[in-house]
Amino acid sequence: MYSIELKVNGRPYSVMVDLKTTLLEVLRDKLFITSPKVGCNTGDCGACSVLLDGRLVRSCITNALTAAGREVTTVEGLARPGEIHPLQRAFHEHYAAQCGFCTPGMILAAKALLDENPEPTRDQVREALSGNLCRCTGYVKIVDAVMAAAQEMAGAGALKAGRG
């Protein structure tokens, strides 16, 4: 067993792992952060997606030892307690979640896109979400939600810039 330190949603943690432990197991089974889901466990479905140093990865096939010293973001860390992120609000308002199992991964894939490209086209949104499978919605409402969140966030950015 190895002791590793990592930051999750801004908080430092120290956990024991072995050579086979995945980042998903650390998050769910050791830290009880349960928004990343165990879907396929082979990197295919995207339900386990998290941000590692700001980049979208599959936590189910990320060896935990390679996450040592790095920073993980899950949906729990997108907004302060009691608040929600514009992406979360847009998913709610646009009915972009049905069963909800894929939703945390979808939101993080969308976050990774908007961090790099704040004004994406619908095609760019579809490309960014292409590795995240949803069995309920047919994807249209998910894309609607990401476009709406992008618009809201761009507006907030312009407001901030105006004030500055």
Partner 1 sequence: MAEGGFYTAASPAEACALLARHGDGARLLAGGTDLMVAVNERRFAPQVLIYLGACGLNYIRVEGGKLLIGAATPFAEILKSDLVRDQAPLLAEAVAHLASPAIRNAGTVGGNLANASPAADSATALLALGASLKLTSPAGQRVAALEDFFTGPGQSVLKAGELIEEVIVPAQAQGAGWAYRKLGKRKAQSLSVVSVAVYCPLADGKCRGARLALGAVAPTPLLARKAAALLEGQKLEAGLIDRAAKAAAEETRPIDDVRGSAWYRRRAAEGLVRQLLGQIAGQ
Tokens 């769910």 correspond to what residue?
Answer: 28
Q: Which residue among 27, 56, 107, 142 contacts partner 1 (CB under 8 A)?
A: 56
If one asks whether residue 46 binds partner 1 (CB under 8 A), the answer comes out as yes
Tokens of 62: 């990320």
Q: Which residue among 102, 128, 142, 148 contacts partner 1 (CB under 8 A)?
A: 128
Question: What b/e readout covers 42-57, taking b as 16+ CB neighbours within 10 angstroms?
Answer: eeebbbbbbbbeeebb
Q: Which residue among 5, 44, 93, 115 contacts partner 1 (CB under 8 A)?
A: 44
Cβ–Cβ < 8 Å for 104, 91 = no
Cβ–Cβ < 8 Å for 50, 72 = yes
**Window 57-86: residues binding partner 1 (CB under 8 A):** 57-58, 60-63, 65-66
Nearer to partner 1, 53 or 93 (CB): 53
* 3-class state of residue 95 by DSSP: coil
Q: Which residue among 30, 71, 79, 131 contacts partner 1 (CB under 8 A)?
A: 131
Interface contacts to partner 1, rule CB under 8 A: 2, 19-20, 22, 41-44, 46, 49, 55-58, 60-63, 65-66, 109, 112, 127-128, 130-133
